[in-house]
Structure 1
Amino acid sequence: MQDSRVRVFGIRHHGPGSARAVRRGLEEFAPEVVLIEGPSDADPLVMLAASETMSPPVALLAYATGEPSKAAFWPFAVFSPEWQALDWAAKNGVQARFCDLPAHNMLADQRELSTREGDPLAELAAAAGYDDTERWWDSVIESNSGTGSSDVFDAITDAMAALRETVPIDEETAHREAYMRQVLRKTLKDGAQRVAVVCGAWHAPALVGPLGPASVDARILKGMTKIKTSLTWVPWTHSRLASVSGYGAGITSPGWYHHLFTAQDKTVARWLTKVARVLRAEDLPISSAHVIEAVRLAEALAVIRSRPLAGLSEVTEATRSVMCDGNDVLLDLITRKLVVGESLGEVPEETPTVPLEADLRARAKTLRLKQQAGAKNLDLDLRRDIDVERSRFLHRLALLDIDWGVPAEDEVRSTGTFRETWALQWKPEFAVSVIEASLWGTTVSVGAAAKIEARVQAPDIALAALIELLEQCLLADLPDALTRVLTSVKTVAALDHDVTHLMAALPILTRTLRYGDVRGTDVSALTEVADGLLVRICTGLPVAVTGLDDASAEEFRDHLDKVHAAVLMRDDPESIERWLKVVSGLIDRDDINGILTGRMVRLLRDAGSISEIDAAQRLSRALSIGSAPVDKAGWVDGFLGGGGLVLVHDRALLDLIDSWVGQLREQDFIDTLPLLRRTFGAFEAGERRAIGQAVRGGRVTETSVETDARRGRAAMAVVSDILGVNA
């Protein structure tokens, strides 16, 4: 027999139909206390739900103090029955409390308790003839949200009670329901005459009727472990509701459910109007007639299927047929933007938080960076002070593993160094990242610097990794950390005798030297380090290139390319001369792998250190009798690897290689073919086509491209008009 003082509302988490019914039920029952499924140690945060600046979707976050990675979320949307219960209690001056197992028990016992497998609601859906639980609940409850009665909760409780007789209760559920009963007993003992309980439908039968002796529940809860936890409110998003839920009841269509709850009338027509608006934003010709026909089709489908209202499946099919012409790509766009949607909630400023998060919010506000769920590209002009500060701020967050901003490719083609593009998207899980990062400091800049220093002190850190940290220090403008990193770079570089390590570090350091000034950063201290690295590389290079096999030579070739590019990019005459002099002294040695010799000849030729005639003579000697065909192919790969323009513009070189290939014996050709194919396969399609034309006897010049004089004159006329000159 049910206690007349208690009314249990068994709901579906994040269900708009349940939310409406709960609201009506609370109005009818007028409870003195509302108990809501949620961690009971979050009661001090309930009052914040009444704040005018609290805007769902939001979530309760509980984490182990000192170990933020151990955390759990309890999300709430505006269409969540639990949120509506909180909102009703706040507006009616009624006490609201959470009644579920405390977070300090749940987080401590995550590894110990057995949990139920499968979805018991799926059995009810199957019994009703539905193969999809979402569609069943949508049809029975959600789509009836405007006309249903609060009595529906009695029917739900009876159905769950019958289902629980066939499904064993898992250990986690037993603990949680025992605790809920204990809270309910205490609430009644404290004198409450009308208590409303808002909980998941699965738990409703355990709270209806006589609660039984408290000693039984006390024995169930005895011995549960606990850990120290902290709780707070954090912003949440609809997309996160679609993928995960602290209740284990993630939903696939939060945007649709939000519409069901907020659209009081003409639900289908209003929804399809939103669909039309999204498609029109993509420049698609969607008219009012499309909306009208789609509404008619959705409602007709509902009638055929004996459903009281058109649900998500009906409006989706109508959208596909009428508005998308069967195009599933457009339908996927609607799903992402509307059915799931992206809506980021807000929490009051007085919400408990770590100092680092407060600093992050303040800095973001100062820099006019808005936390939003949707992805957005931010183009920075580093000649502007505010954009420089934004860049430093985002780089500091990246160091703390808070990836609010991710470097992106600039949509504006520019060879300058003053542009920077970031892809911004705030994700709810960053709340945990912020808490984890707070271990490093109370502000973003202090935390980033502390993390850099900790990484510098890591044992056996490689020189290249140190140089990367040094670059990050400059980008994030962390002068104190930069000093420590510089000291470590000098120490490690002096003790590291592996030339490949030094060669891996120099390009990163050179890039920092090249692009640091655009941010107004003093990089003069790095010049000495770069000079020292180059001297040591040049000193150790003759030994490092000796006696390498093909695999090692290919790996070393990459280092050669990067160091060569870095030296030329730095544009320091003394450094360039030192580097080219060392490389020039190696190309005549016989103990160096042909891949490297060919590469060094190519680098010297491109830099103008040796003439084209000299390079051709060296290629001729390399292909002459005396070496194995595979070794010759390696030399060719070293010389040509990465680009075939040299063959397009130098017919003599092409003739040498063509002649050598033509003279190969059958077995030699078979042996060298894989390497040659790899070499020539890496060329651009245009390069390969031009080389093929030349081999067949065509000309390898710009005149081989067909031109249209008439179109050319028209283009020149336009250019003349733009420049203001006579054609």
Structure 2
Amino acid sequence: MTAPATTGPFGALREQLTDAAATFAGSPDALNGILAGIVDDVDRALGEPLEIFPVCHHSPASALAMVRRLREKRPRVIYLELCEDLQPLLGELRNCRLPVALQAFASELDGFPAEWGPLSVVAPVTEASAEYQAIAYALETPGVELVLVDRSTDHVFQWLPRPPGSAPTDAPAGAATEAEEDAALHGDAVGVEIGDLRPGFADLETYLLHHGKVRHWSEWWDQYVEQPLVDADHDTYRQVMVLIGSLFRRLRPARSDRLDRDEDRERYMWTRMRQHLAASGADPADCLYVCGAFHAASRVEQFGLAADAPAYEITPRTGTRWRYGLIPSSHSAIETQFGLASGSVSVASATWTKAVGRSRLVPFRLDGQRGGRRTTARGGSAAAPAPAGPVTDRLSGFLAEPPPLGGLDEAELRGWCVDIVRLARRNGYLASTADAIAVFETSILLANLRGRPRPTPYDFADAAVTCIEKDVVPGRRDVRRLCEILLGGDRIGQVGYDALPPLARDVVDRLRPLGIDPEKRTVQRVLLDLRADPRLAPCSDLLWMLRHLLPPDAARPIMGERRLGHRSIQESWDVALGRNQRALIELGYEGVTVEQVLEQRLRRAVRGPDATAAVALEAVENAVRLLDSPRLVDDLGARAVDLLAAERTVDDAPDVLRRIRRLLGHYRTTGSALPGWCESFVTVGYAHYCTLLPTAFVDEQTGVRQVGAMLGFLFGMESLALSLGCDRSQLELAVAQSHPETPAKVALLWAARHQLGLLPLAELRERCAGLLGNPLVVPAFPQYLAGFVQALEPVPGLTPFVVEVLSSAFARLPDPVLLPWLPTLITTLREQGPELVPLLVREAGRTFPGSLPALDAWLPPWLAPAPVLAGAGAAVAAGPVTDLLAGHPETVDAVAALLGCTGGWRDAGPTTSAGLATLLAAHPETAVAVADLLTS
């Protein structure tokens, strides 16, 4: 390796650093190589014919230096380090209020792991950034070409060495801020930034923070780099930025994934610039290459126009279809995504505003840019650019001399102290003038302790927290958050109407009759009286679809509901589309209208790898509720039939039963014919559950609730299934082949056999009495009882019997068994059968006396002697049922006529009376059910 040259503009500095390395390190080998290499990197970058302009991400010093250089040089071509496929979006910045983010979004992946989806890449843009100044200059100056030369968004994910199943990310993780909803504006997107200047060597960063007497990296950068470079000339700024980039680059581990990706990016960018220069014939002297300071000190073989290395081979893009747009951003979102300290971007914005006013520079701004002043300064209208002078050493003087000391600006600090006390009082703090004085003095004291000539915004924030913050925050914001608001606020961008995708514009237009302002970030309350103004019905339909597609707080119903067969005539909504503009814009990447996106999502849900019959029925229900498309409903229903037939487990049986019941009830109440897919679902489900029933009874992984839901489907849909051609012997064989072992499932089997007429109620009562009388079975009796409770789903006629069994259990079970079991019974009913509890409560209310005095003389009906009603030798229990039949003879006469029985049934002795008496004795459940219907 050849020794570095000692001539040139940086020869003296190189010798000085080499001597210092030999003096302090004892051996000049390692440290000398680093220090001399840094100077070589600066010399190499500044000697490149294509001018390299190093920047830092969202740095006001970089933005000011960019404005000065653009007005002095007026380049004709600007190469910008930004994803090349984002270039068509730059013109849309005119319709937005900064900060916003350029976004590339992909939901349908081709060439990437499915677990990564959806993919999203964002590049935030603020006014106090060098990239925005370059974009505004290029777009507003005639004859200037802007070329984005960084890798495409597709290559961003191609180069991520992430295993399948992990969430891809290319940005450091940052701590959450106070305003979480604003910090989440970028979602889970991968951040692309220009000029990531942060040490990759952890020990170096710790050393700098310790000796700089600061708490985080953003504060160190503001004090030791940002403030000294705000008023620096162009040559000094370039040399210092390349020096810092080279230092951090050389102290980063030699082989790391991040460094490899950075070098590939540099090869990519230099290849694109060479291709453009060759195709356009542009003079490199009229070009400007804007990149991060880290990349300005690049040492790849393709660096520079004179490099003889072969061009970097750019791999083709995958088949993933990318969609592009603008989304709102905020200072908090930028800080969170790029690992910056809370409030640092707001401090940078305040520094930019103050420096622009002090230097009287006129920054570049896009015509029509909302949220700021319009400027008419054009770079193309000035005189010819001055020729570039020779490179001179500005580093030696900058490194040897301390930065100019600024005096204490008492007026500025006093204004901060007064304003923070005012803000604190508005947010519930008991702050006073004494607190303002204390904050003023503490700020100066902290600055002196940290060796600063004047308090910085960070010193002021620390002082405010020390003097005003109490043990408990009275409101939503603490004092540090109030300081951020005071120093510049968490400015939130807005995407204008013209820059929105077609779907978002369509939503805004369709909601215009409600008077909703889409630019407001506050919650807006809207009232819809659909009876008085039927023209608002389309707005109601759209709000319900947005409720299904967007985050919950985007459209939240306060009054009214939309369920199967029901639409409210009055509705009240809380709408916050401005706060959820990012979600609405990303919705526009999936289709042109909301209806199209909803249909696509429903179809995707039933075709996904995790799709089940319950998911498909939910999609059918949503299609019926939200979309008037019978064809879509039929397609989704047919898919539900296929999924049900293919299932090998019954885990979703309760959900399937609940949803199919609701859909069948909807079609019956609306008077429309039952769709073909519903008939197929009932017949397929009947055969499917009959097949799986014996296995489910003995499978330990299948719960009692699932088996009860299967029986509920079989018994509840039995009449419809038999009318559609199913065979009842399937169910009888399935029950006969079931041999459960667990007590709860045994109780379910008994209930099923009773429903089929194979187990009379008297025998079922005897079995339960035998369980209570067996000391070996008594501890497990609560499990039998839990099974009987679940049996109310398939056999609701057993409700009086379950009340009887519960009463007998409470009366006969010993306290050591009963008391520990009560909490389990309550939690089981709450988790597994909340809809069954009202049945038991209602039946218990009919069975037990309603007053305390009546309780003393009350005898349970299952213990009362059974009086008989004579009739041709048949015995019928006298009681409420018999009295009810005798009191309403017309109903019984009609039933007797249907059965072909003539004559008086109330007289004892005739054959008709004997026939009816025998019928009632053989089938008492029917009479009980009729009595329940008449008395309920």
TM-score band, normalised by shorter chain: 0.5 to 0.7
Measure how far apart 1:661 and its partner are. 2.3
Task: Tell me which amino acid in the other structure corresponds to 1:426.
Answer: N
Per the alignment, residue 217 of structure 2 pairs with: 133
| CA deviation string 1:361-402 (max 9, x = no partner) | 322342256667969597886958687645644665687xx6
**Alignment of structure 1 residues 561-640 onto 2, 5 Å:** 594-595=743-744, 622-625=771-774, 628-638=777-787
Of 502, 507, 511 in structure 1, the residue corresponding to residue 658 of structure 2 is 507
Measure how far apart 1:222 and its partner are. 2.8
Alignment of 1:56 onto 2:98: yes
Q: Please state whether the residue corresponding to 2:54 is helix, strand or coil.
A: strand
Task: Tell me which amino acid in the other structure corresponds to 1:73.
Answer: V
Query: Using a 3 Å threshold, how does the CA distance of structure 1 residues 529 and 481 change in structure 2: closer, same or farther?
Result: closer
Measure how far apart 1:500 and its partner are. 7.5
Where does the alignment leave 5 or more consecutive residues of structure 1 unmatched?
Answer: 573-582, 604-612, 685-699, 704-727
Of 289, 309, 315 in structure 2, the residue corresponding to residue 225 of structure 1 is 315
Alignment of 1:174 onto 2:263: yes
**Alignment of structure 1 residues 633-712 onto 2, 5 Å:** 633-638=782-787, 656-657=809-810, 659-662=812-815, 677-680=823-826
Measure how far apart 1:477 and its partner are. 1.0
Per the alignment, residue 243 of structure 2 pairs with: 158
**Alignment of structure 1 residues 15-30 onto 2, 5 Å:** 15-27=59-71
Of 125, 128, 134 in structure 2, the residue corresponding to residue 79 of structure 1 is 128
**Alignment of structure 1 residues 272-291 onto 2, 5 Å:** 282-285=427-430, 290=435
Query: Using a 3 Å threshold, how does the CA distance of structure 1 residues 597 and 277 change in structure 2: closer, same or farther?
Result: farther
Measure how far apart 1:136 and its partner are. 0.7
Alignment of 1:242 onto 2:335: yes
| CA deviation string 1:536-564 (max 9, x = no partner) | 98999899777966876982336747998
**Does the CA-based 8 Å contact 1:382-1:388 persist in structure 2?**
no
**Does the CA-based 8 Å contact 2:443-2:455 persist in structure 1?**
yes
Per the alignment, residue 724 of structure 1 pairs with: none
**Does the CA-based 8 Å contact 2:771-2:778 persist in structure 1?**
no
Q: Please state whether the residue corresponding to 2:781 is helix, strand or coil.
A: helix
Of 318, 327, 331 in structure 1, the residue corresponding to residue 463 of structure 2 is 318
CA distance in 1, matches of 2:154, 2:805: 80
CA distance in 1, matches of 2:692, 2:107: 52
How well do the aligned residues superpose, as a CA RMSD in angstroms?
6.2
Task: Tell me which amino acid in the other structure corresponds to 2:657.
Answer: L
Of 636, 639, 643 in structure 2, the residue corresponding to residue 485 of structure 1 is 636
**Alignment of structure 1 residues 284-683 onto 2, 5 Å:** 284-285=429-430, 290=435, 293-311=438-456, 313-327=458-472, 339=484, 344-347=492-495, 357-368=501-512, 383=530, 389=538, 392-393=541-542, 396=545, 403-405=550-552, 418=568, 426=580, 428=582, 434-435=588-589, 437-438=590-591, 442-453=592-603, 456=606, 462-479=612-629, 480-489=631-640, 504-511=655-662, 524=672, 555-557=703-705, 560=708, 594-595=743-744, 622-625=771-774, 628-638=777-787, 656-657=809-810, 659-662=812-815, 677-680=823-826
| CA deviation string 1:82-125 (max 9, x = no partner) | 11332345556573624533427844851589x99983486367
CA distance in 2, matches of 1:181, 1:491: 55
Q: Please state whether the residue corresponding to 2:297 is helix, strand or coil.
A: helix
TM-score, normalised via structure 1 length: 0.66
The number of residues matched between the two structures is 641
| CA deviation string 1:134-160 (max 9, x = no partner) | 221122244568666654443232333
Q: Please state whether the residue corresponding to 1:363 is helix, strand or coil.
A: helix
CA distance in 1, matches of 2:463, 2:711: 60
Per the alignment, residue 722 of structure 1 pairs with: none
Measure how far apart 1:634 and its partner are. 0.4
CA distance in 2, matches of 1:193, 1:495: 69
Task: Tell me which amino acid in the other structure corresponds to 1:448.
Answer: L
Per the alignment, residue 152 of structure 2 pairs with: 103
CA distance in 1, matches of 2:316, 2:102: 19
Task: Tell me which amino acid in the other structure corresponds to 2:659.
Answer: I
Task: Tell me which amino acid in the other structure corresponds to 1:203.
Answer: H
**Does the CA-based 8 Å contact 1:410-1:421 persist in structure 2?**
yes
CA distance in 2, matches of 1:621, 1:421: 60
Alignment of 1:14 onto 2:162: no
Query: Using a 3 Å threshold, how does the CA distance of structure 1 residues 459 and 7 change in structure 2: closer, same or farther?
Result: closer
TM-score, normalised via structure 2 length: 0.53
Larger Rg: 2
**Does the CA-based 8 Å contact 1:466-1:489 persist in structure 2?**
yes
Query: Using a 3 Å threshold, how does the CA distance of structure 1 residues 148 and 548 change in structure 2: closer, same or farther?
Result: same
Measure how far apart 1:305 and its partner are. 1.7
Task: Tell me which amino acid in the other structure corresponds to 1:12.
Answer: C
Query: Using a 3 Å threshold, how does the CA distance of structure 1 residues 141 and 655 change in structure 2: closer, same or farther?
Result: farther
**Does the CA-based 8 Å contact 1:499-1:540 persist in structure 2?**
no
Query: Using a 3 Å threshold, how does the CA distance of structure 1 residues 499 and 119 change in structure 2: closer, same or farther?
Result: closer
Measure how far apart 1:473 and its partner are. 0.7
| CA deviation string 1:180-231 (max 9, x = no partner) | 5563894997246565543222123349xx9755343x52x33221327868
Query: Using a 3 Å threshold, how does the CA distance of structure 1 residues 494 and 512 change in structure 2: closer, same or farther?
Result: same
CA distance in 2, matches of 1:347, 1:421: 21
Per the alignment, residue 386 of structure 2 pairs with: none
Moved more, 153-162 or 496-505: 496-505
Q: Please state whether the residue corresponding to 1:623 is helix, strand or coil.
A: helix
| CA deviation string 1:588-644 (max 9, x = no partner) | x997765367789999xxxxxxxxx999999766523276134312023346799xx
